[in-house]
Amino acid sequence: MKLFKEKIRERVIFGLSVFALALLSSCNDSDDRKAEPLSGSVKQTQVSPSKESLQSDAQETESSESSSLIKCRSRFVVGNAEIQKRQKDWMRLLVNKKVVENDKIRTAEAAEVVLAVQDGSALKIPEKTEVQLAAESKNGQKKLILLDIKYGRVHFDVQKQRERELRFTTGTAAAAIRGTAGFVGNLNGKMFASLKEGMLDVTNKSGKTNSIVKKQTVFVDEQGKAKVLNLASSGTEALSKAIDSFALPEVSVAVLEKSLKKFDDAFVKEQKIFEKKVQFRATPIADTLFVPTVTLTARATPGIWVMVLGESDSIGANGIYQRTFEWDDSEYGSKRFLASCSDGHVEFPCYTWVTEYAPVSTLDGSASENRADPSNQSAGTAADASKNVKLSVKVNGPRSERIHLDLPAKELNTNLKFSLAEISATDLNQLQSLSVLRNGKPFKNFGKNELTSLAYEVPVTIARNKIADFEVVATLKNGKKFRAKKTFEVYCLVSNHPGGKARNTVVPLDQEYERLKQSGQLTHE
């Protein structure tokens, strides 16, 4: 009996040690771990695909995408991640890879994938996870998007759904989400869902539904019984990793609940201390956007991490956060960008940008112009000889875009992105010419063999504290011209930053911009 009690005591001490270790390292997994072979793989080899296989894969992907109800791209990939398309062999998943319905993705240890969805939503697939995407038309109107989690978990940050419903499934239950952020997982036969914000409905196999809101986590066991926990850490990276640590195969939901509540108490204490140390001053964005892209900027405490739509950025010594997000130009509606500040252990929501992406109703002052220039129309014959097609030119980003240049950079290297709208790909033969002007002078002329796409990118370089004006001109064979303009303002008040004779206190970016304008240092090229 004495020996038995000693063994029980040793197991309790060991369990408490595991809990303490999980709390201290919940978000600090070592980056130098070696990736284990993926589940289901006999052998992991790094083989460069041939040119022929790449071309074949690209053709099949294009064909699949044209009819797909869900369209994603891999915006971020780290570690050993693989994709399987149409039941073919698994292959390495690279950045900017198209991901559509019926594709499978799996990640090895220490791997991570962030998928950008066409409406601006984000899906983050962390290590040791396998998920399959599916989609179907619902009632002939709304699209049903399904993510079947075979094992592991998926973090999501989803825009408000207008024409589609997003649902996660496991072997135990299904979770339907609406414009929200959190994670859903499948671990040892149990489904768990956790919300940072928003609302989520979990339905078990018998049809019983449980709803949770922000700061709540739900577990559904193999029998379909649900348990809802009120945890301040709900939806966070730290909680998802704590669940991985505690949810051993033999652990019941009751024991798991007790462990997670202890974890949550410690999390809240650390969170309050961290929150007092953090400053986050966001630059507001327009209430309405007419182009499918936005650049988010903020002044934040150096050394922290800022997470938006699955992307994490470390704030450097200059204290500047800046990232651009894009979505499909047909995905109109409200857009929300939730920023979470983290120290690598705990996190908290530090700001939310909200805007409305709307169709262009008037053309003046927007980045899209659908108006023909009458002065450039040919008389009679050309107009009558060519097909009467519609056309508009859309330049990505706002009409005038301010971009802060971090030291020590002296120039900005970016791409001028624009597209041709309303015209179909089959009518591109009606396009006579396409050119880009820079400050009123020819900058890029596309040859006849280049007029085969609806989307274009032109590399541009702009010096620090310079303003560059661009104009895209598309001319049809009937002589009609369609234009769109874009201005880049690249600025940096050197004396406002470390390494540039910075003062003890620095001013926000908007004040920095105004000082440069007023002093005459920000000038046109």
β 431-438/441-446 pair status: antiparallel
Query: What's the rounded Cα separation, in Å, for the pair 116 and 311?
Result: 10
Q: Could you tell me if 270 and 214 are in contact, meaning their C-beta atoms sit under 8 angstroms apart?
A: no
Residue among 169, 216, 172, 208 at smallest CA distance from 190 = 172
Structure confidence by residue, pLDDT tens digits, 106-151: 999 999 999 999 999 999 999 999 999 998 876 665 678 899 999 9
Q: Helix or strand or coil: residue 230?
A: strand
Do you find a cis peptide bond into 408, omega within 30 degrees of 0? yes
Residue with tokens 């880009």: 436
pLDDT for 383 equals 39
pLDDT for 62 equals 57
β 400-404/481-491 pair status: parallel
pLDDT for 378 equals 40
Residue ranges, the chain, pLDDT below 70: 1-67, 138-142, 162, 179, 247, 249, 360-388, 498-506
Q: Could you tell me if 129 and 137 are in contact, meaning their C-beta atoms sit under 8 angstroms apart?
A: no
The CATH architecture assigned to 360-525 reads Sandwich (2.60)
pLDDT for 373 equals 45
How many C-beta atoms surround the C-beta of residue 118 within 10 A? 19
The CATH architecture assigned to 284-359 reads Single Sheet (2.20)
Task: Supply 300's token pair.
Answer: 């934040």
* Residue 48, Cβ density class (10 Å: 0-12 exposed, 13-18 middle, ≥19 buried): exposed
pLDDT for 141 equals 59
How many C-beta atoms surround the C-beta of residue 303 within 10 A? 14
Is-same-fold flag (284-359; 360-525)?
no
pLDDT for 177 equals 85
Residue among 123, 119, 121 at smallest CA distance from 107 = 123
Domain ranges of the chain: 60-276, 284-359, 360-525
First to last CA, the chain: 87
pLDDT above 70 coverage of the chain, percent: 78
How many C-beta atoms surround the C-beta of residue 292 within 10 A? 22
pLDDT for 50 equals 55
Taking the domain 60-276, which CATH number applies?
Answer: 2.60.120.1440
Query: What's the rounded Cα separation, in Å, for the pair 435 and 418?
Result: 11
Q: Could you tell me if 464 and 405 are in contact, meaning their C-beta atoms sit under 8 angstroms apart?
A: yes
What sign results for the dihedral spanned by CA atoms 385, 389, 394, 399? positive
pLDDT for 11 equals 45
At position 219, the amino acid (one-letter code) is F
Residue among 389, 330, 1, 333 at smallest CA distance from 158 = 333
Residue 369 φ/ψ, nearest 5 degrees = -125, 125
Strand-pairing partners, residue 392, are 421
β 190-204/411-421 pair status: unpaired
Query: What's the rounded Cα separation, in Å, for the pair 106 and 72?
Result: 15
